[in-house]
Amino acid sequence: MPDLLFARLQMAVSLAFHIVFAVAGMGMPVLMAIAEWRWLRTGDAVCLELAKRWAKGTAVLFAVGAVSGTVLAFELGLLWPRFMSFAGSVIGLPFALEGFAFFAEAIFLGIYLYGWDRVPPRAHLLAGIVVALGGAASGAFVVTANAWMNTPAGFRLEAGRAVGVDPVAAMLNPAAGAQVLHMLLAAYAAAGFAVAGVHAFYLLRDRGSRFHGRALALALALGCPAAVLQVASGDLLARQVARTQPVKLAAMEGQFRTERGAPLRLGGWPDEEALETRGAVEFPRGLSLLAWHDPDAEVKGLEAFPRDEWPPVAAVHSAFQVMVLAGVAMLGVSVWAALVAWRRSLPGSRAFRRTVVAASPLGFVAIEAGWTVTEVGRQPWIVQGVMRTEDAVTPMPGLVVPFLLFTGLYIFLAAVVALVLVRQFRETRPEEAGVATAGTGSTHAAP
């Protein structure tokens, strides 16, 4: 059991670290492409400078994400060889396509970074768009593989082996669409809010800065619509979970007993011995309405499933509550931002800017909590209903050693990245508040 625990902890730490850079790889290219597009349309040199700054940040985050993603790929084989032996032929297609998308992203990011003086402006913008599409595709393909673990499809199980494999059907499994949409919107919301928070912080010092004001507007233009649309995608995903993983839904909501007109619970602490969630605020029939769009629909409780198939209820319920709370807070900030933009008063009041700064990490908090729900909520299965996690782990002993080594490595890398990005943020030239382009190294002329 200790080796299984450390294998799971190592994967959890690796994924929690990598997801930050994966999200940046999806969101930051969109921002830099939008900024360059605005420059080409308006000739505003501030947008050009933003595109270059964000491209440099994207490069740093992309490099670390590539390393951490490679580590994750090796860990799948080294820590979970029985899983890979069983599932490799089934989910190999999305991983192969993810590799193609990753290489396309890397190639065009190189063109974007070093092609300012070497390719025509519109071709350069196209390279940025390809980087953004490559990041989105890379994330989407990986998520389809994870969705397959939640709703396995595209094979038959015979004597413990996967036969009759249809890799396309496996990739397009029942959970794939909802999970991909939810993850992409989460990435754009998280990146937009994080970048907005950085520039809102500088605007607290100098409200008149055109550079930070324009950056705040563009970042909110990405993050706020994504946060609003996330409500609809969350509803779609929750209904899919209700159909295909009812035990996970029950753990998420602290629903121990099967009942019609099940209430929606906010907060509370699940008591697995007493079979009740203590201290929760309940909204009558809310869960039935959200899960099935019918206030009188039956919702299966944990009691309907064998006890050894329950996930850690308290952990799943708490993570789900954190994710929802962060999402609601981002939704509130988005509504406020829309009102500020409608009044044409960006960067808004000091209170608004402080709120944006405070909300800047919420997207990443929601993503980390959401992945906790996804992965822990599937336990004890590594492939839902097909293979248990304990049956997939490597028999190699002493897994505490690589866990400690990799955890130390991730802490070191996080510190280095933070220092590099902080230095880059501080390298703000005096002319940033104007429109001067001297020293940019670009010979592009705005049309």
Q: What local confidence, expressed as pLDDT, does residue 370 receive?
A: 93
pLDDT digits (tens, 9 = 90+) for 135-154: 999 999 999 999 999 999 98
Q: What local confidence, expressed as pLDDT, does residue 1 receive?
A: 56
Determine contact, residues 139/22, Cβ cutoff 8 Å: yes
Mean pLDDT of all residues in 320-329: 94
Q: What local confidence, expressed as pLDDT, does residue 280 receive?
A: 85
The verdict on whether omega for the bond into residue 29 sits within 30 degrees of 0, i.e. cis, is no
In a domain, 371, yes or no: yes
Rounded to an integer, what distance in angstroms lies between the CA atom of residue 55 and that of residue 63?
12
In a domain, 446, yes or no: no
178's tokens = 């909802």
In a domain, 216, yes or no: yes
H or E segment at 260?
Answer: strand 259-260
Domain count across the chain: 1
Closest by CA to 363, choosing from 322, 320, 330, is 330
Determine contact, residues 271/278, Cβ cutoff 8 Å: yes
342's tokens = 């409608």
pTM surpassing 0.85? yes
In a domain, 401, yes or no: yes
268's tokens = 């509370």
* Residue 423 CB burial class (10 angstroms; 0-12, 13-18, ≥19): exposed
Rg (alpha carbons) of the chain, rounded to whole number: 23
H or E segment at 278?
Answer: strand 276-278
What are all long-range contacts of 159-165, with beta carbons under 8 Å and residues at least 24 apart? Answer: 160/86, 161/86, 162/86, 162/87, 162/89, 162/90, 165/89, 165/90
Residue 163 belongs to domain spanning:
2-433
pLDDT digits (tens, 9 = 90+) for 232-246: 999 999 999 999 999
In a domain, 122, yes or no: yes
pLDDT digits (tens, 9 = 90+) for 187-227: 999 999 999 998 999 888 888 888 889 999 999 999 999 99
Q: Tell me the average pLDDT of the chain.
A: 87
124's tokens = 């350069």
Rounded to an integer, what distance in angstroms lies between the CA atom of residue 283 and that of residue 269?
16
Determine contact, residues 79/11, Cβ cutoff 8 Å: yes
Tell me which DSSP letter residue 208 carries: T
pLDDT category at 427 given cuts 50, 70, 90 is low
pLDDT digits (tens, 9 = 90+) for 368-386: 999 999 999 999 999 998 9
In a domain, 442, yes or no: no
pLDDT category at 425 given cuts 50, 70, 90 is low
